[in-house]
Amino acid sequence: MSGLPTIQPSPRYTLAMTARMIVAGVFLSALIASAQNAVDLGPLPALLSQFRTETDRASKERTLILITTKFPEAGPDLLALAEGPENGDTKWMAIRGIGYLKFSGAVPFLKSSLTSKSVFVRSNSARSLGEIGDASAIDPLIAALSKEEDSGVIEQTALALQWLHAHKAIPTLKTKIGNPSRQTRMWILGAVEHLGGRAEVPFIAASLQDPDLEVRNFAGRSIQRLTGEDFGFPRCGNGLCPMDEWPIVNAQHWWLNHKQEWH
């Protein structure tokens, strides 16, 4: 699944994930600018009605941005829409808006929504719990993650757990490293790096043998960040970097010579 504007939670995310975050951030900024420049649709009830009945997803997103930027007190109204019957994209997009507003009154509903049949509801509920920052959501998020198979939901749940500084989630996050999506595997590596630090080098080093070049590259860079070693990865700032095999090979050789230090 896709279509979830995301903002980079940590400078440790690089390469493919950094590019995705930058593009998503630009997209979200464009939505905000578009919404703020739109014709004033009137008071909050009119905007909520427009949001509820709109069927075009892009237009619905613009209306949501207008609601959350003009009416920061709209959390209870969005919660009422989210708690209502399924109505196209209304439920999960209202949940997204709840996260934008960090409306803590929705936490019980968001926790219960982690088991929804809809991947859009589950992913946005997880992300919104992370954005709200209520530590009581950690255990429900871990429980949901342990049973989750959808790549997009796993990614958003991993992100939420990072925002919540949920170190106890590391063992469950590790169980998702075999996900078939290379992007999801990189999100898992990034989450474990962020939450576990240098102690997780052995786990991350295992992905130096991942069949996908991007995942191997991410793992090598992660180990370089955590250890301070220089394997020769290009320094490209926030831009896209070329991916060569030789820095990965350097990281592999380094790990073979130093893995005993972690036992």
Type of residue found at 149:
E
Structural domain harbouring 168: 38-176
- Rounded-to-10 torsion of CA 182, 88, 140, 107: 130
**Structural domain includes residue 74:** yes
The string of DSSP codes covering the chain is --------S-TT--HHHHHHHHHHHHHHHHHHHHHHTSPP--SHHHHHHHHHH---HHHHHHHHHHHHHH-TT-HHHHHHHHHS---TTHHHHHHHHHHHHT-GGGHHHHHHHTT-S-HHHHHHHHHHHHHHT-GGGHHHHHHHHHH---HHHHHHHHHHHHHTT-GGGHHHHHTTTT-S-HHHHHHHHHHHHHHHGGGGHHHHHGGGG-SSHHHHHHHHHHHHHHH---------TTS-----HHHHHHHHHHHHHHGGGG-
> Do 11 and 42 form a contact (C-beta atoms < 8 A)?
no
Quote the pLDDT of residue 29. 53
Q: What is the mean pLDDT of each run of 10 residues along the chain (263 residues)?
A: 40 44 48 48 86 94 96 97 88 98 98 97 98 98 98 98 98 98 98 97 98 97 96 82 90 96 77
CA distance 255 to 232: 15
pLDDT reported for residue 13: 43
pLDDT of residue 242: 77
- Residue identified by tokens 């007190």 is 73
The answer to the question of residue 148 being in a domain is: yes
Residue 128 lies in a domain: yes
Residue 253: inside a domain: no
238 occurs within a structural domain: no
> 83: which residues sit within 8 A by CB, 6+ positions away?
109
Evaluate whether residue 197 is within a structural domain. no
pLDDT computed for residue 39 by the predictor: 44
- Output the furthest CA–CA distance in the chain (Å, rounded): 66
User: Tokens 């075009």 belong to which residue?
Assistant: 56
Cα separation, 242 vs 236, whole angstroms = 9
> Does 69 reside within a domain?
yes
Distance CA 248, CA 85 (A): 50
Q: Let me know if residue 149 belongs to a domain.
A: yes
Distance separating alpha carbons of residues 159 and 7, to the nearest angstrom: 10
Number of domains composing the chain: 1
CATH code of the domain covering residue 159: 1.25.10.10
Q: How many CA atoms lie within 13 A of 165 on its CB side?
A: 3
